[in-house]
Amino acid sequence: MPSARIFLIAGLFSVAGGSCLLATQGPHPVAPPHKTGTTQVLGMIAHDGATRTAQTLSRRRQWKEIVLGLSTGQRDAERALSLLLPKADAPTAALLRLSMKAALPYQAQTVLSTLRDSASSLGDTRAICSTRGMDTAWRISARKAVASVHDWGLRMRVKTCLNSLAES
């Protein structure tokens, strides 16, 4: 029995000593900040260019990061999509436009920011803001969301979108 007490006391001292030793060590290494998928895509665009990045994303079927970023209102997704949409192949561009259309009532400013004020993007704006195939609740929500965008740089896109929502 006395040897069991000695082992118990020695065990307690070693646990206490180990705890003190761990407490005196420096801070634990900090993990690098988590990069979102859209941040990585922006890095790919900077390194490889928009055309090559769009081809890579289509080949690997990795557009979901961009779509997820768009639906959550990430600024990186907005920038990446505005650079990649003109370079995407036709089926992918159609899928991205459909995703933008679905996100319009929830992230109107982000969706409209991805588009440009050019003649080619005017058709994109009209297509995204068209109510064809969407229900009445979407139409009402989209109209309210677009009307609540008060960004001077987006005024032409907002006007075009509101006209498209009213026409159809």
Query: Could you state, in order of their start, the residue ranges of all structural domains in the chain?
Result: 36-103, 106-168
C-alpha angle with apex 84: 155 to 39, nearest 5 degrees? 95
pLDDT of residue 140: 93
Tell me the mean pLDDT in the region 7-23: 64
Residue with tokens 């979102």: 36
Identify whether the C-beta of residue 122 lies closer than 8 Å to the C-beta of residue 160. Answer: yes
Identify whether the C-beta of residue 66 lies closer than 8 Å to the C-beta of residue 105. Answer: no
pLDDT of residue 144: 94
pLDDT of residue 96: 83
pLDDT of residue 25: 67
CA 26 to chain centre: 36
Residue with tokens 């309210």: 144
* pTM confidence score: 0.67
Per DSSP, the three-state class of 8 is helix
- Report which DSSP code applies to 72: T
pLDDT of residue 21: 57
Tally Cβ neighbours within 10 Å of residue 138. Answer: 16
pLDDT of residue 33: 47
Q: Does the CA dihedral 109-111-114-115 come out positive or negative? A: negative
In this prediction, residue 32 has a pLDDT band, given cuts at 50, 70 and 90, of: very low
pLDDT at 24 over 80: no
Residue with tokens 């992918």: 92
Query: Which comes out higher in pLDDT, residue 157 or 70?
Result: 157
Q: What are phi and psi of 131, to 5 degrees?
A: -90, 5
Identify whether the C-beta of residue 69 lies closer than 8 Å to the C-beta of residue 80. Answer: yes
Rounded Cα distance, 73 and 165, in Å: 21
pLDDT at 30 over 80: no
Residue 75 one-letter amino acid: R
